[in-house]
Structures are given as structure tokens and as C-alpha cells.
Amino acid sequence: MDWKVFAATFGAIFLAELGDKTQMANLCFAAQSKSLMSVFFASVLGFAAVTLLTMIFAGAVCRYVHPEHIRYGAASLFILAGILTFAGKL
């Protein structure tokens, strides 16, 4: 295992997920439930499933598209989303 990649990925995901809509949804589920462990494990399983699908998709896409182009495309989409958000269109 590449611990440098592991630490960078963990740190980025941890910081990105703080206060996002997934955390708010988990807060609501936990507040309504008497089984916090069920909410915890369902949340972990759901995020793991999404991550698995992302890795499968990334593996397929990276066979045909250079990772640098993907990075530029993702950055462009984030910039566009920011502009649309500021403009009140998103």
C-alpha cells in the first residue's frame, strides 16, 4: 500500500466531507433512530459502494483518457459550478 497516497486521499476526503449534505443526512437519520450503529454501518456501506463505482469508472476512463486531462476537466467543472453558484444559477 502506498501510504502517501492513502494519507493524501484520506485527508482530502475527510476535509471535503465535513459539513456536507451527506453528513447532514446522517445527522438526521441518527437523530430519528434508536440504532446509531445501523445508521453508521449503512452510511459506511453506502459511501463504500459509491467509492467502488467511482473506482471502476475511473479505471475504465483512464484507459482512454490521460489523467491530466481528467484533472483539467474536473477543475474546469468546479470553476464553472462556482461561477454558476455566484450568479445564482445553481
pLDDT per position as a tens digit, 31-84: 999 899 999 999 999 999 999 999 999 889 989 999 899 999 999 999 999 999
Q: Do 50 and 24 fall within a single domain?
A: no
Q: Do 28 and 38 fall within a single domain?
A: no
Structural domains counted in the chain: 2
Q: Rounded mean pLDDT of 11-15?
A: 92
Q: Do 24 and 63 fall within a single domain?
A: no
Q: Do 18 and 52 fall within a single domain?
A: no
C-beta of residue 59 within 8 angstroms of C-beta of residue 53: no
Q: What is the pLDDT of residue 89?
A: 86
Q: Do 28 and 53 fall within a single domain?
A: no
Q: DSSP H helical segments within 33-66, as ranges? A: 36-61
Q: Do 26 and 43 fall within a single domain?
A: no
Q: Rounded mean pLDDT of 1-6?
A: 94
Task: Give me the domain span that covers residue 18.
Answer: 1-32
